[in-house]
Amino acid sequence: MTPRTVLVTGMSGLIGAAVRRHLGGAYSLRALNRSAVAGIPCHQADITDLEGIRPAFEGVDAVVHLAAKAHSEAPFEELLRANVVGTYNVFEAARRAGVKRVVYASSGAVTGGYEAEMPYRALLAGEGAAVGDWPRISHTSPLRPRGIYGASKIWGEALARLYVDAHGLSILCVRIGHVIAEDRPLSPRDYSVWCSQRDIARMIDLCLKAPASLRFDIFYATSDNRWGYRDLTHAEEVLGFRPQDAAEAHRDRR
């Protein structure tokens, strides 16, 4: 499956800009955004309005769903509208339009609760050298959301599973690491969970190109970080994802 026309929700955001920059030459990109996106065909609507967004999905081969409320401390009402209602609307609009593949931007926050415990707490504090070996958190690990935001992303993954089983869509969920405007680690925590803009764009590209027989799956996406605790082997085995960047490479450039 190699889609030609790809609709990106939330293209004006940081990851949307990275997708446009790195993948714009490989696909005919369209945007679903509340504000116009210069140089890109853009349907302006809010994802909380199902009827308002439906025209954006016509004639689309695949959707990259990035639009969300990404602030962990956001009020519940905002997370409900953007991440719960909005995600339902995007999946439903894709179903009605006959879209074949959706790439859903999930988050490492779905298992962020592990970070309060050792050895992950030490890794995120920049004390990885004292830890030794540590078990990786994988797509099969029990869910432990960090905050209501993490729980809202679990809802999106569960809804994706439902739409695959009930409606025949292919939906691939990407638990995205910390993507930063400066595109380099800025805190001790980033040496575990940072994801470069190039690496997240590469992951999305691989999800778009994955065979149609891959109906549903969940992948972590970070760069190749020395103190990383999120498992990347599943993404490599299934998609061929190998990060091109590493947080440790920036340690002497701060």
Determine the straight-line distance between the first and last CA of the chain, rounded to whole angstroms. Answer: 41
Q: Are 53 and 93 in contact (CB under 8 A)?
A: yes
Locate 53 and state its tokens: 């967004």
Angle between helices 147-167 and 86-97 (to 10 degrees): 20
Beta bridge partners of 43: 32
Backbone angles phi, psi at 118, to 5 degrees: -75, 145
Which residues are CB-contacts of 148 (< 8 A; sequence separation ≥ 6)? 74, 76, 79
Question: 24 is written with which tokens?
Answer: 């714009």
DSSP state of 62: E
In 89-199, DSSP assigns E strands to: 101-107, 170-176
Q: Is 217 strand, coil or helix?
A: strand
Instruction: Give the DSSP letter of residue 221.
Output: E
Residue 104 annotated to the active site = no
Single-letter amino acid code for the residue at 37: V
Q: Would you say 159 and 87 are in contact if contact means Cβ atoms under 8 Å apart? A: yes
Among residues 104, 149, 191, 220, the one annotated as catalytic is 149
Token pair 């929700």 is found at 9
Distance CA 110, CA 223 (A): 18
Catalytic positions: 149
